[in-house]
Amino acid sequence: LDAARANGLAPALLDRLALSPSAITTMVDGLRQIAALPDPIGEISNMKSRPSGIQVGQMRVPLGV
């Protein structure tokens, strides 16, 4: 933060960089809410049967590794 102030960063941007205990608590609460969500991986939706009998749908898969 000292370097940001020395370089003349706007006060609004300095506020975004500062981590107060309440900001950390808010982040932790948000992460806990995300962690409590059900895992969507493998979920199948929009399943439709084609005239040939083939079933076509969408499956949620992880991106990356």
Indicate if the alpha-carbon torsion angle 55, 58, 64, 65 is positive or negative. negative
Question: Measured between alpha carbons, how far is 28 from 38 in angstroms, rounded to an integer?
Answer: 18
pLDDT in tens, 24-51: 999 999 999 999 999 999 999 999 999 9
Token output for 8: 């003349």
User: In a 10 Å sphere around its CB, with 0-12 CB exposed, 13-18 middle and 19+ buried, how is residue 9 labelled?
Assistant: middle
Residue 64 lies in a domain: no
Residue 51 lies in domain: 2-59
Q: How many domains does the structure of the chain reveal?
A: 1
Question: Measured between alpha carbons, how far is 24 from 20 in angstroms, rounded to an integer?
Answer: 6
Question: What percent of the chain shows pLDDT beyond 90?
Answer: 69
Residue 50 lies in a domain: yes
